[in-house]
Amino acid sequence: MAEEPIIYCKNVHKWYDDFHALRGIDMDVFLGEVIVIFGPSGSGKSTFIRTINRLEEHQEGQIVVDGIELSHDVRNIEQIRTETGMVFQQFNLFPHLSVLQNITLAPIWVRKWPKDKAETVAMELLELVGIPEQALKFPGNLSGGQQQRVAIARALAMQPKIMLFDEPTSALDPEMIKEVLDTMTDLAESGMTMIVVTHEMGFARAVADRLYFFDEGLIVESGTPEEIYSNPQEERTKLFLSQIIQH
């Protein structure tokens, strides 16, 4: 393909002391693609997504995001982080700031936007995720689903080129999962480049361009949703899919 990938990972290795968490991951992501990563717990999927904005450091291999190689250079790291939004399993909203302040903090202090502009953008984003009326509340007063939608708005406020989702619905009560997935679907349809770690296979089937199955720090199998669901090649993929789809 002539086009350059926006995320380029080559032979990424990561150790926690003696534990070999990532054992050579290769992945290219192109602009506008939606990638879903799934796999059993401890398979390295969260670790991998966190190496992309260097919340985790990789020890070997190469990661290039939007033309910038991740290295020890702090300025590179901070620049990549402004270009990649991240949504966490536990939301991680700032409890001492209002919803609006949560969203405007980084645009004002990192992007150096004037307050008015940051607030206008924040309100537009809250409109987008469907909860503009909650702007002045504090995160502690929102439901889990609302908190996660605020977290998505907060990440989008930096106008990132890439969005990383680390199990965004795993900590939610069942009745709130849909509202978050709906928001993510809207986002995917708007053309955002996304990497999503999730076990929501319905979402993956509907939205993902490619699926990656991780196990024991390796990519076991990858392909389009169609390929993975109807015709998995590897035994481990079959087994895992049968386990999570049973219910």
Partner 1 sequence: MVNIAIEQDHIRPPQPPGLIKWIKENLFSSIFNTVLTILLIPLISYLLFAVFRWVFFAAEWRAVTQFPLLYAVGQYPRDQIWRVGIILSGLFLFLGISWGRWGGLLKSISFTAGLIMLVTSLLPVQHPALDLNMRLYLGSNLLTILVGYLLGSKTAIKNTHIFIGWLLVPVCGIVLLAGFEASELIPDVSTTLWGGLLVTILLAAGGILLSFPLGIALAFGRRSSLPVVSAFSTVFIETIRGVPLVTILFMFSIILALFLPVESRIDRLVRALMAVTVFSAAYSAENIRGGLQAVPLGQIEAAKALGMGNFKTTIFIVLPQALRAVLPAIVGQFISLFKDTTLVVIIGINDFLGIGRSIINSDPEFVQMRTEVYIFMAVVYWIFSYLMSLASRRMEAAMGTSNNM
**What does the binding site for partner 1 look like in residue numbers (CB under 8 A)?**
53, 55, 74, 78-79, 81-82, 84-86, 88, 90, 92-96, 105-106, 109-110, 130, 138-141, 143, 145-146, 151, 154-155, 158, 175-176, 178-179, 182
Tell me how far, at minimum, the Cβ of 119 lies from partner 1, in Å. Answer: 16
- Minimum distance from CB of 105 to partner 1 (Å)? 6
Least Å distance, CB 207 to partner 1, is 17
- Shortest Cβ distance from residue 10 to partner 1 (Å)? 23
Q: Which residue has the tokens 């904005």?
A: 53
Closest approach of Cβ 82 to partner 1, in Å?
4
Are 104 and 118 in contact by the 8 Å Cβ rule? The answer is yes
Q: Which is nearer to partner 1, 31 or 77 (CB)?
A: 77
Nearest to 247 by CA among 196, 182, 199: 199
> Would you state the structure tokens that stand for residue 98, as one six-digit string?
């209002």
Contact 148, 87 (CB under 8 A): yes
Q: Which is nearer to partner 1, 193 or 237 (CB)?
A: 193
> What's the gap between Cα 132 and its chain centre?
23
Our CB check for partner 1 shows the closer of 43 and 146 to be 146
Nearest C-alpha neighbor of 218 from the set 20, 7, 5, 6: 20
Nearer to partner 1, 151 or 211 (CB): 151
- Give strand pairing partners of 65: 7, 68
Identity of the residue, 180 or 204, whose beta carbon is nearer to partner 1 in the bound complex: 180
SS3 166: strand
Residue 39 per-residue DSSP state? -
Shorter beta-carbon distance to partner 1: residue 9 or 86? 86
CB atoms within 10 A of CB 181: 21
Shortest distance in whole angstroms from residue 148 CB to partner 1: 12
Q: Which of 207, 205, 204 is nearest to 190 (CA)?
A: 207
